[in-house]
Chains A and B, each alone.
Chain A
Amino acid sequence: MSFLKTYITEVYGAVKSLLTGMKLTGYYFTHPKEIITEEYPDNRLTLKMADRFRGEVVMKHDDNNEHACTGCSACELACPNGTIKIINKFEINAEGKKKKAIDAFVYHLELCTMCNLCIEACPTDAIKMAQTFEHSVYDRRLLTKQLNLPGSKIREGVE
Protein backbone atom coordinates (compact mmCIF):
# COMPACT_ATOMS: atom_id res chain seq x y z
CA MET A 1 0.00 0.00 0.00
CA SER A 2 3.00 2.29 0.34
CA PHE A 3 2.94 2.70 -3.43
CA LEU A 4 -0.59 4.03 -3.30
CA LYS A 5 0.33 6.37 -0.46
CA THR A 6 3.23 7.89 -2.45
CA TYR A 7 0.98 8.20 -5.49
CA ILE A 8 -1.72 10.10 -3.63
CA THR A 9 0.86 12.27 -1.86
CA GLU A 10 2.40 13.16 -5.23
CA VAL A 11 -0.96 14.11 -6.73
CA TYR A 12 -1.86 16.13 -3.64
CA GLY A 13 1.49 17.94 -3.68
CA ALA A 14 1.21 18.71 -7.40
CA VAL A 15 -2.32 20.09 -7.12
CA LYS A 16 -1.39 22.12 -4.05
CA SER A 17 1.68 23.71 -5.64
CA LEU A 18 -0.21 24.52 -8.84
CA LEU A 19 -2.99 26.14 -6.82
CA THR A 20 -0.41 28.20 -4.93
CA GLY A 21 0.84 29.56 -8.24
CA MET A 22 -2.69 30.26 -9.43
CA LYS A 23 -3.42 32.12 -6.20
CA LEU A 24 -0.61 34.58 -6.87
CA THR A 25 -1.50 35.19 -10.52
CA GLY A 26 -5.16 35.40 -9.52
CA TYR A 27 -4.24 38.08 -7.00
CA TYR A 28 -2.46 40.08 -9.70
CA PHE A 29 -5.43 39.66 -12.04
CA THR A 30 -7.92 40.94 -9.49
CA HIS A 31 -5.69 43.83 -8.33
CA PRO A 32 -4.94 46.01 -11.38
CA LYS A 33 -3.35 48.61 -9.09
CA GLU A 34 -0.32 46.31 -8.91
CA ILE A 35 0.49 47.10 -12.55
CA ILE A 36 3.94 48.66 -12.73
CA THR A 37 3.99 49.73 -16.38
CA GLU A 38 4.81 53.43 -16.91
CA GLU A 39 3.34 54.92 -20.08
CA TYR A 40 6.48 56.95 -20.50
CA PRO A 41 6.08 59.72 -23.07
CA ASP A 42 2.52 60.38 -21.87
CA ASN A 43 3.28 60.65 -18.15
CA ARG A 44 6.66 62.32 -18.48
CA LEU A 45 5.86 64.77 -15.69
CA THR A 46 4.52 62.26 -13.19
CA LEU A 47 6.96 59.48 -14.04
CA LYS A 48 7.79 57.27 -11.06
CA MET A 49 11.20 55.65 -11.32
CA ALA A 50 12.21 52.46 -9.55
CA ASP A 51 14.55 53.00 -6.61
CA ARG A 52 17.24 50.80 -8.09
CA PHE A 53 17.32 52.59 -11.45
CA ARG A 54 20.75 54.07 -12.24
CA GLY A 55 20.87 56.83 -14.87
CA GLU A 56 24.13 58.75 -14.47
CA VAL A 57 26.74 59.68 -11.86
CA VAL A 58 26.30 63.07 -10.21
CA MET A 59 28.12 64.80 -7.38
CA LYS A 60 26.13 65.91 -4.37
CA HIS A 61 26.38 69.64 -3.63
CA ASP A 62 24.77 71.38 -0.67
CA ASP A 63 23.33 74.92 -0.54
CA ASN A 64 26.75 76.55 0.05
CA ASN A 65 28.00 74.95 -3.16
CA GLU A 66 30.16 72.55 -1.20
CA HIS A 67 30.77 68.90 -1.98
CA ALA A 68 32.41 66.02 -0.13
CA CYS A 69 34.96 64.92 -2.74
CA THR A 70 38.52 64.80 -1.38
CA GLY A 71 40.06 63.84 -4.71
CA CYS A 72 41.26 60.45 -3.43
CA SER A 73 40.54 58.90 -6.89
CA ALA A 74 39.14 55.69 -5.37
CA CYS A 75 36.31 55.96 -7.90
CA GLU A 76 38.75 56.36 -10.78
CA LEU A 77 40.54 53.16 -9.71
CA ALA A 78 37.27 51.31 -9.18
CA CYS A 79 35.89 52.18 -12.62
CA PRO A 80 36.29 49.18 -14.97
CA ASN A 81 36.31 51.19 -18.20
CA GLY A 82 37.98 54.51 -17.48
CA THR A 83 34.85 56.59 -17.24
CA ILE A 84 36.12 58.85 -14.46
CA LYS A 85 39.18 61.08 -14.58
CA ILE A 86 40.06 63.19 -11.55
CA ILE A 87 42.34 66.20 -11.97
CA ASN A 88 43.77 67.42 -8.67
CA LYS A 89 45.23 70.72 -7.59
CA PHE A 90 46.89 71.89 -4.37
CA GLU A 91 45.39 74.66 -2.31
CA ILE A 92 46.99 76.58 0.52
CA ASN A 93 44.61 76.53 3.46
CA ALA A 94 44.27 78.97 6.36
CA GLU A 95 47.12 77.40 8.35
CA GLY A 96 49.48 77.79 5.41
CA LYS A 97 49.55 74.09 4.64
CA LYS A 98 49.23 72.63 1.16
CA LYS A 99 46.14 70.52 0.80
CA LYS A 100 44.97 68.32 -2.06
CA ALA A 101 41.61 69.23 -3.65
CA ILE A 102 39.88 68.45 -6.92
CA ASP A 103 40.21 70.76 -9.86
CA ALA A 104 37.86 68.80 -12.13
CA PHE A 105 35.91 65.59 -11.72
CA VAL A 106 35.58 64.52 -15.38
CA TYR A 107 32.89 61.97 -16.13
CA HIS A 108 32.47 60.31 -19.55
CA LEU A 109 28.80 59.35 -19.71
CA GLU A 110 29.30 57.71 -23.10
CA LEU A 111 31.66 55.15 -21.53
CA CYS A 112 29.68 54.51 -18.37
CA THR A 113 27.89 51.18 -17.89
CA MET A 114 26.08 52.29 -14.70
CA CYS A 115 27.74 49.49 -12.72
CA ASN A 116 27.64 51.45 -9.44
CA LEU A 117 31.22 50.46 -8.48
CA CYS A 118 32.40 54.09 -8.14
CA ILE A 119 29.58 54.93 -5.74
CA GLU A 120 30.48 51.95 -3.59
CA ALA A 121 34.19 52.82 -3.69
CA CYS A 122 33.71 56.44 -2.55
CA PRO A 123 34.85 56.76 1.10
CA THR A 124 33.12 60.11 1.71
CA ASP A 125 29.84 59.40 -0.10
CA ALA A 126 30.40 62.34 -2.44
CA ILE A 127 28.84 60.93 -5.60
CA LYS A 128 25.56 59.16 -6.27
CA MET A 129 23.53 57.74 -9.11
CA ALA A 130 20.86 60.07 -10.49
CA GLN A 131 17.62 58.76 -12.01
CA THR A 132 17.72 60.87 -15.18
CA PHE A 133 17.75 58.89 -18.41
CA GLU A 134 17.06 61.21 -21.34
CA HIS A 135 20.72 61.46 -22.27
CA SER A 136 20.62 61.58 -26.08
CA VAL A 137 22.43 64.55 -27.66
CA TYR A 138 23.53 65.39 -31.21
CA ASP A 139 27.17 66.01 -30.27
CA ARG A 140 28.93 63.34 -28.28
CA ARG A 141 31.29 65.86 -26.71
CA LEU A 142 28.33 66.99 -24.63
CA LEU A 143 28.42 63.62 -22.88
CA THR A 144 31.77 64.41 -21.26
CA LYS A 145 30.79 66.22 -18.11
CA GLN A 146 32.50 67.96 -15.23
CA LEU A 147 30.68 66.89 -12.08
CA ASN A 148 31.95 69.46 -9.58
CA LEU A 149 30.08 72.72 -10.08
CA PRO A 150 32.12 75.82 -10.95
CA GLY A 151 33.37 77.59 -7.83
CA SER A 152 32.52 74.71 -5.53
CA LYS A 153 34.85 73.64 -2.77
CA ILE A 154 35.18 70.81 -0.33
CA ARG A 155 32.98 70.92 2.74
CA GLU A 156 34.68 71.70 6.08
CA GLY A 157 35.58 68.66 8.10
CA VAL A 158 35.56 66.11 5.31
CA GLU A 159 38.88 64.28 5.18
Chain B
Amino acid sequence: MFSIENITNSFHNWLSSVLSETLVMLVEMGLIAIAAIALFAVLGLVLVYMERKVAAVIQIRLGPNRVGPMGIFQTSADTLKLVLKEGFMPNNVDKFLYKLAPFVVMITAMLILAPIPFAKGFQIWDINIGVFYITAISSISVIGILMAGWASNNKYSLLGAMRSGAQIVSYELSAGMAVLSIIVLTGSLNLNEIIESQRNGWWIFKGHIPALIAFVIYIIAVTAETNRAPFDMAEAESELTGGFHTEYAGMRFALFFLAEYINIFIVCAIGATLFFGGWMPFHIGNWEGFNHVMDFIPSFVWFFGKTFFLIFLIMWFRWTFPRLRIDQLLNLEWKYLLPISMFNLLLMTVIAIKGWHF
Protein backbone atom coordinates (compact mmCIF):
# COMPACT_ATOMS: atom_id res chain seq x y z
CA MET B 1 0.00 0.00 0.00
CA PHE B 2 1.28 3.46 -0.89
CA SER B 3 2.53 5.40 2.10
CA ILE B 4 4.65 8.52 2.44
CA GLU B 5 6.08 7.14 5.69
CA ASN B 6 7.92 4.34 3.85
CA ILE B 7 9.43 6.76 1.34
CA THR B 8 10.71 9.16 3.99
CA ASN B 9 12.04 6.30 6.14
CA SER B 10 13.95 4.66 3.29
CA PHE B 11 15.31 8.07 2.24
CA HIS B 12 16.45 8.71 5.82
CA ASN B 13 18.15 5.29 5.98
CA TRP B 14 19.89 5.85 2.65
CA LEU B 15 21.08 9.29 3.75
CA SER B 16 22.35 7.89 7.07
CA SER B 17 24.36 5.25 5.25
CA VAL B 18 26.09 7.93 3.13
CA LEU B 19 26.59 10.86 5.50
CA SER B 20 27.47 11.38 9.16
CA GLU B 21 24.70 12.01 11.70
CA THR B 22 25.14 15.80 11.87
CA LEU B 23 25.23 16.15 8.10
CA VAL B 24 22.10 14.03 7.76
CA MET B 25 20.30 16.38 10.12
CA LEU B 26 21.49 19.47 8.25
CA VAL B 27 20.54 18.04 4.85
CA GLU B 28 17.12 17.01 6.12
CA MET B 29 16.55 20.45 7.65
CA GLY B 30 17.47 22.07 4.35
CA LEU B 31 15.14 19.77 2.43
CA ILE B 32 12.30 20.47 4.84
CA ALA B 33 12.85 24.22 4.50
CA ILE B 34 12.68 23.91 0.71
CA ALA B 35 9.61 21.68 0.97
CA ALA B 36 7.88 24.16 3.30
CA ILE B 37 8.57 27.11 1.01
CA ALA B 38 7.47 25.10 -2.02
CA LEU B 39 4.27 24.10 -0.21
CA PHE B 40 3.63 27.76 0.60
CA ALA B 41 4.10 28.85 -2.99
CA VAL B 42 1.88 26.07 -4.36
CA LEU B 43 -0.79 26.65 -1.70
CA GLY B 44 -0.81 30.37 -2.46
CA LEU B 45 -1.38 29.73 -6.15
CA VAL B 46 -3.95 26.99 -5.63
CA LEU B 47 -5.94 28.74 -2.91
CA VAL B 48 -6.15 32.09 -4.71
CA TYR B 49 -7.31 30.30 -7.86
CA MET B 50 -9.80 28.25 -5.83
CA GLU B 51 -11.12 31.36 -4.10
CA ARG B 52 -11.67 33.16 -7.38
CA LYS B 53 -13.41 30.18 -8.95
CA VAL B 54 -15.62 29.49 -5.93
CA ALA B 55 -16.53 33.17 -5.70
CA ALA B 56 -17.34 33.23 -9.40
CA VAL B 57 -19.62 30.19 -9.39
CA ILE B 58 -21.41 31.36 -6.24
CA GLN B 59 -22.01 34.74 -7.90
CA ILE B 60 -23.19 32.99 -11.12
CA ARG B 61 -20.07 34.07 -13.03
CA LEU B 62 -17.35 32.11 -14.82
CA GLY B 63 -14.25 33.42 -13.06
CA PRO B 64 -10.74 33.43 -14.55
CA ASN B 65 -10.78 31.50 -17.84
CA ARG B 66 -8.31 33.20 -20.19
CA VAL B 67 -4.82 32.25 -18.97
CA GLY B 68 -4.38 28.56 -19.68
CA PRO B 69 -7.15 25.94 -19.67
CA MET B 70 -9.89 26.99 -17.18
CA GLY B 71 -7.61 29.89 -16.25
CA ILE B 72 -5.33 27.74 -14.08
CA PHE B 73 -2.27 29.89 -14.85
CA GLN B 74 -4.04 33.11 -13.83
CA THR B 75 -2.55 33.16 -10.33
CA SER B 76 0.95 32.35 -11.66
CA ALA B 77 0.65 35.33 -14.00
CA ASP B 78 -0.52 37.53 -11.12
CA THR B 79 2.44 36.43 -9.00
CA LEU B 80 4.83 37.19 -11.86
CA LYS B 81 3.33 40.66 -12.11
CA LEU B 82 3.78 41.23 -8.37
CA VAL B 83 7.41 40.02 -8.50
CA LEU B 84 8.21 42.42 -11.34
CA LYS B 85 6.70 45.40 -9.55
CA GLU B 86 8.79 48.11 -7.93
CA GLY B 87 9.32 47.59 -4.20
CA PHE B 88 7.96 51.03 -3.44
CA MET B 89 8.32 52.50 0.05
CA PRO B 90 6.70 55.82 1.01
CA ASN B 91 8.62 58.59 2.78
CA ASN B 92 8.48 58.97 6.57
CA VAL B 93 7.71 55.32 7.30
CA ASP B 94 9.46 53.48 10.11
CA LYS B 95 11.81 51.72 7.70
CA PHE B 96 12.92 48.85 9.93
CA LEU B 97 9.42 47.85 11.07
CA TYR B 98 7.99 48.46 7.61
CA LYS B 99 10.39 45.97 6.08
CA LEU B 100 10.15 43.49 8.97
CA ALA B 101 6.35 43.26 9.20
CA PRO B 102 5.61 41.03 6.17
CA PHE B 103 8.29 38.60 7.28
CA VAL B 104 6.89 38.39 10.82
CA VAL B 105 3.49 37.48 9.42
CA MET B 106 5.02 34.97 7.01
CA ILE B 107 7.41 33.33 9.50
CA THR B 108 4.58 32.93 12.01
CA ALA B 109 2.64 31.03 9.40
CA MET B 110 5.71 28.88 8.68
CA LEU B 111 6.23 28.09 12.37
CA ILE B 112 2.70 26.75 12.78
CA LEU B 113 3.40 24.31 9.95
CA ALA B 114 5.87 22.38 12.13
CA PRO B 115 3.61 20.11 14.25
CA ILE B 116 0.88 19.45 11.64
CA PRO B 117 0.75 15.78 10.57
CA PHE B 118 0.22 15.85 6.81
CA ALA B 119 0.00 12.09 6.46
CA LYS B 120 0.57 8.97 8.52
CA GLY B 121 4.08 9.35 9.99
CA PHE B 122 4.75 12.48 7.93
CA GLN B 123 5.26 15.40 10.26
CA ILE B 124 8.05 17.94 10.60
CA TRP B 125 8.20 18.04 14.38
CA ASP B 126 6.42 15.56 16.65
CA ILE B 127 5.96 17.63 19.81
CA ASN B 128 3.95 16.55 22.83
CA ILE B 129 2.29 19.96 23.30
CA GLY B 130 1.38 20.42 19.61
CA VAL B 131 -2.01 22.07 20.10
CA PHE B 132 -0.66 24.41 22.75
CA TYR B 133 2.27 25.34 20.50
CA ILE B 134 -0.10 26.14 17.63
CA THR B 135 -2.43 28.32 19.70
CA ALA B 136 0.55 30.14 21.21
CA ILE B 137 2.33 30.82 17.91
CA SER B 138 -0.80 31.74 15.96
CA SER B 139 -1.39 34.80 18.16
CA ILE B 140 2.01 36.24 17.16
CA SER B 141 0.83 37.07 13.65
CA VAL B 142 -1.17 39.99 15.05
CA ILE B 143 2.13 41.59 16.05
CA GLY B 144 3.18 41.59 12.40
CA ILE B 145 -0.09 43.24 11.43
CA LEU B 146 0.23 45.85 14.18
CA MET B 147 3.82 46.49 13.04
CA ALA B 148 2.70 47.03 9.46
CA GLY B 149 -0.09 49.35 10.52
CA TRP B 150 2.12 51.40 12.83
CA ALA B 151 5.14 51.60 10.55
CA SER B 152 3.13 52.73 7.52
CA ASN B 153 2.58 56.20 9.04
CA ASN B 154 -0.97 56.23 7.73
CA LYS B 155 -4.12 56.67 9.81
CA TYR B 156 -6.08 54.08 7.85
CA SER B 157 -3.35 51.50 8.25
CA LEU B 158 -3.19 52.14 11.98
CA LEU B 159 -6.98 51.90 12.32
CA GLY B 160 -6.97 48.63 10.43
CA ALA B 161 -4.16 47.23 12.54
CA MET B 162 -5.90 48.26 15.78
CA ARG B 163 -9.14 46.62 14.69
CA SER B 164 -7.20 43.50 13.79
CA GLY B 165 -5.61 43.50 17.24
CA ALA B 166 -8.96 43.83 19.01
CA GLN B 167 -10.45 41.15 16.79
CA ILE B 168 -7.71 38.55 17.15
CA VAL B 169 -7.38 39.01 20.91
CA SER B 170 -11.15 38.50 21.29
CA TYR B 171 -11.59 35.57 18.96
CA GLU B 172 -8.52 33.68 20.24
CA LEU B 173 -10.60 33.01 23.36
CA SER B 174 -13.50 31.21 21.74
CA ALA B 175 -11.21 29.42 19.29
CA GLY B 176 -9.17 28.22 22.28
CA MET B 177 -12.33 27.10 24.11
CA ALA B 178 -13.46 25.14 21.07
CA VAL B 179 -10.05 23.47 20.80
CA LEU B 180 -10.09 22.77 24.55
CA SER B 181 -13.37 20.90 24.32
CA ILE B 182 -11.68 18.36 22.03
CA ILE B 183 -8.60 18.25 24.27
CA VAL B 184 -10.94 17.38 27.16
CA LEU B 185 -12.08 14.32 25.23
CA THR B 186 -8.63 13.16 24.12
CA GLY B 187 -6.69 14.08 27.24
CA SER B 188 -3.61 14.86 25.17
CA LEU B 189 -2.08 17.87 23.45
CA ASN B 190 -0.07 15.71 21.06
CA LEU B 191 -1.57 15.95 17.57
CA ASN B 192 -0.64 12.35 16.75
CA GLU B 193 -2.38 11.04 19.85
CA ILE B 194 -5.43 13.17 19.05
CA ILE B 195 -5.58 11.57 15.61
CA GLU B 196 -4.99 8.10 17.06
CA SER B 197 -7.94 8.61 19.45
CA GLN B 198 -10.20 8.99 16.40
CA ARG B 199 -9.42 5.56 15.04
CA ASN B 200 -12.98 4.35 15.73
CA GLY B 201 -14.71 7.53 14.49
CA TRP B 202 -14.11 11.24 14.21
CA TRP B 203 -14.76 13.45 17.21
CA ILE B 204 -17.41 15.48 15.42
CA PHE B 205 -19.53 12.30 15.32
CA LYS B 206 -18.36 10.74 18.58
CA GLY B 207 -18.72 13.90 20.69
CA HIS B 208 -22.49 14.33 20.15
CA ILE B 209 -23.95 17.84 19.85
CA PRO B 210 -21.31 19.63 22.00
CA ALA B 211 -18.65 18.63 19.47
CA LEU B 212 -20.79 20.04 16.67
CA ILE B 213 -21.27 23.31 18.57
CA ALA B 214 -17.52 23.45 19.28
CA PHE B 215 -16.84 22.94 15.57
CA VAL B 216 -19.22 25.74 14.54
CA ILE B 217 -17.64 28.08 17.09
CA TYR B 218 -14.16 27.09 15.93
CA ILE B 219 -14.98 27.81 12.29
CA ILE B 220 -16.50 31.22 13.14
CA ALA B 221 -13.57 32.15 15.38
CA VAL B 222 -10.86 31.17 12.90
CA THR B 223 -12.63 33.03 10.11
CA ALA B 224 -12.34 36.09 12.33
CA GLU B 225 -8.74 35.30 13.28
CA THR B 226 -7.60 35.05 9.67
CA ASN B 227 -9.21 38.46 9.00
CA ARG B 228 -11.48 37.17 6.29
CA ALA B 229 -14.89 38.44 5.27
CA PRO B 230 -17.43 38.62 6.93
CA PHE B 231 -14.91 39.64 9.61
CA ASP B 232 -12.45 41.56 7.39
CA MET B 233 -12.40 44.66 9.55
CA ALA B 234 -8.61 44.86 9.38
CA GLU B 235 -8.62 45.24 5.61
CA ALA B 236 -12.05 46.77 5.02
CA GLU B 237 -11.51 47.90 1.43
CA SER B 238 -14.63 50.03 1.54
CA GLU B 239 -13.63 52.03 4.62
CA LEU B 240 -9.87 51.81 5.12
CA THR B 241 -8.59 51.42 1.53
CA GLY B 242 -6.97 48.10 2.41
CA GLY B 243 -6.23 48.57 6.12
CA PHE B 244 -2.83 47.54 7.37
CA HIS B 245 -1.39 46.81 3.91
CA THR B 246 -2.51 50.09 2.29
CA GLU B 247 1.07 51.35 1.96
CA TYR B 248 2.55 48.07 0.76
CA ALA B 249 3.29 47.28 -2.88
CA GLY B 250 4.86 44.58 -4.98
CA MET B 251 6.34 41.54 -3.27
CA ARG B 252 5.88 42.90 0.27
CA PHE B 253 2.16 43.12 -0.37
CA ALA B 254 2.26 39.67 -1.94
CA LEU B 255 3.72 38.27 1.30
CA PHE B 256 0.77 39.61 3.31
CA PHE B 257 -1.63 38.29 0.71
CA LEU B 258 0.06 34.89 0.71
CA ALA B 259 0.15 34.77 4.52
CA GLU B 260 -3.62 35.26 4.61
CA TYR B 261 -4.17 32.18 2.47
CA ILE B 262 -1.53 30.13 4.28
CA ASN B 263 -3.24 30.99 7.56
CA ILE B 264 -6.55 29.77 6.18
CA PHE B 265 -4.90 26.51 5.20
CA ILE B 266 -3.32 26.12 8.62
CA VAL B 267 -6.44 26.80 10.67
CA CYS B 268 -8.40 24.45 8.42
CA ALA B 269 -5.72 21.79 8.80
CA ILE B 270 -5.96 22.11 12.59
CA GLY B 271 -9.74 22.03 12.42
CA ALA B 272 -9.57 18.92 10.26
CA THR B 273 -7.13 17.30 12.68
CA LEU B 274 -9.16 18.02 15.80
CA PHE B 275 -12.70 17.44 14.57
CA PHE B 276 -12.33 15.25 11.46
CA GLY B 277 -9.41 13.04 12.44
CA GLY B 278 -6.61 14.54 10.33
CA TRP B 279 -5.19 11.84 8.09
CA MET B 280 -7.35 9.18 9.76
CA PRO B 281 -9.66 7.53 7.21
CA PHE B 282 -13.40 7.49 7.79
CA HIS B 283 -13.92 4.71 10.32
CA ILE B 284 -17.17 3.57 11.89
CA GLY B 285 -16.79 1.87 15.27
CA ASN B 286 -15.97 -1.81 14.84
CA TRP B 287 -17.01 -2.38 11.23
CA GLU B 288 -13.74 -4.12 10.32
CA GLY B 289 -14.56 -4.61 6.62
CA PHE B 290 -15.67 -1.03 6.04
CA ASN B 291 -12.70 0.38 7.96
CA HIS B 292 -10.31 -1.79 5.97
CA VAL B 293 -11.72 -0.56 2.65
CA MET B 294 -11.35 3.05 3.81
CA ASP B 295 -7.70 2.39 4.75
CA PHE B 296 -6.87 1.79 1.08
CA ILE B 297 -7.25 5.51 0.36
CA PRO B 298 -3.83 7.06 1.15
CA SER B 299 -3.71 9.10 4.35
CA PHE B 300 -2.52 12.33 2.72
CA VAL B 301 -5.59 12.24 0.44
CA TRP B 302 -7.78 12.16 3.55
CA PHE B 303 -5.87 15.01 5.17
CA PHE B 304 -5.92 17.32 2.16
CA GLY B 305 -9.50 16.35 1.30
CA LYS B 306 -10.76 17.34 4.74
CA THR B 307 -8.64 20.49 4.84
CA PHE B 308 -9.85 21.67 1.46
CA PHE B 309 -13.43 20.91 2.43
CA LEU B 310 -13.05 23.23 5.43
CA ILE B 311 -11.35 25.86 3.24
CA PHE B 312 -14.32 25.63 0.89
CA LEU B 313 -16.65 26.12 3.86
CA ILE B 314 -14.82 29.30 4.85
CA MET B 315 -14.91 30.55 1.25
CA TRP B 316 -18.62 29.78 1.16
CA PHE B 317 -19.05 31.98 4.26
CA ARG B 318 -17.09 34.77 2.66
CA TRP B 319 -19.22 34.95 -0.47
CA THR B 320 -22.55 34.57 1.33
CA PHE B 321 -22.57 36.57 4.53
CA PRO B 322 -22.74 40.35 4.88
CA ARG B 323 -19.89 42.11 6.69
CA LEU B 324 -20.16 43.07 10.33
CA ARG B 325 -19.42 46.44 11.87
CA ILE B 326 -16.57 46.48 14.41
CA ASP B 327 -18.94 46.87 17.39
CA GLN B 328 -21.18 44.08 16.07
CA LEU B 329 -18.06 41.96 15.68
CA LEU B 330 -17.06 42.40 19.32
CA ASN B 331 -20.70 41.93 20.44
CA LEU B 332 -20.81 38.61 18.65
CA GLU B 333 -17.68 37.41 20.40
CA TRP B 334 -18.20 38.66 23.94
CA LYS B 335 -21.97 38.29 24.21
CA TYR B 336 -22.60 35.17 22.16
CA LEU B 337 -19.62 33.03 21.19
CA LEU B 338 -17.71 33.21 24.46
CA PRO B 339 -20.63 32.38 26.82
CA ILE B 340 -21.82 29.62 24.50
CA SER B 341 -18.36 28.10 24.18
CA MET B 342 -17.83 28.24 27.98
CA PHE B 343 -21.12 26.45 28.57
CA ASN B 344 -20.25 24.03 25.79
CA LEU B 345 -16.88 23.28 27.37
CA LEU B 346 -18.64 22.52 30.68
CA LEU B 347 -21.04 20.18 28.91
CA MET B 348 -18.16 18.49 27.12
CA THR B 349 -16.32 17.99 30.39
CA VAL B 350 -19.37 16.29 31.89
CA ILE B 351 -19.57 14.03 28.85
CA ALA B 352 -15.86 13.21 29.09
CA ILE B 353 -16.02 12.45 32.83
CA LYS B 354 -19.13 10.30 32.55
CA GLY B 355 -17.73 8.60 29.44
CA TRP B 356 -20.92 9.23 27.44
CA HIS B 357 -19.00 9.73 24.19
CA PHE B 358 -18.47 6.74 21.95
Contacts and interface: CB of A to CB of B under 8 A. Distances in A.
A18 B321 contact: yes
B61 A29 contact: no
B241 interface: no
B316 A25 contact: yes
B174 to A, nearest CB: 14
Interface of A: 11, 18, 21-22, 24-26, 28-29, 32, 34-37, 39
Interface string B41-70: 000000000000010011111100100000
Interface string B307-319: 0000000001101
B321 A36 contact: no
Given A18-B321, A22-B320, A35 B336 contact: no
A148 B229 CA distance: 55
Contacts of A22: 316-317, 320
A36 to B, nearest CB: 5
A35 B321 contact: no
A126 B321 CA distance: 47
Contact of A28 (B57, B65, B321, B340): B57
Interface of B: 54, 57-62, 65, 316-317, 319-321, 336, 340
A103 B317 CA distance: 61
A4 B25 CA distance: 58
15 contacts: A11-B336, A11-B340, A18-B320, A22-B316, A22-B320, A28-B57, A28-B60, A29-B57, A29-B58, A29-B316, A32-B57, A35-B61, A35-B62, A37-B61, A37-B62
A25 B320 contact: yes
Nearest to A24: B320
A34 B320 CA distance: 17
Given A25-B58, A25-B316, A35-B61, 20 more contacts: A18-B321, A21-B321, A22-B320, A25-B319, A26-B316, A28-B57, A28-B58, A28-B59, A29-B54, A29-B57, A29-B58, A29-B316, A32-B57, A34-B60, A35-B57, A35-B62, A36-B60, A37-B60, A37-B61, A39-B65
Contacts of B316: 22, 25-26, 29
A5 to B, nearest CB: 15
A118 B21 CA distance: 88
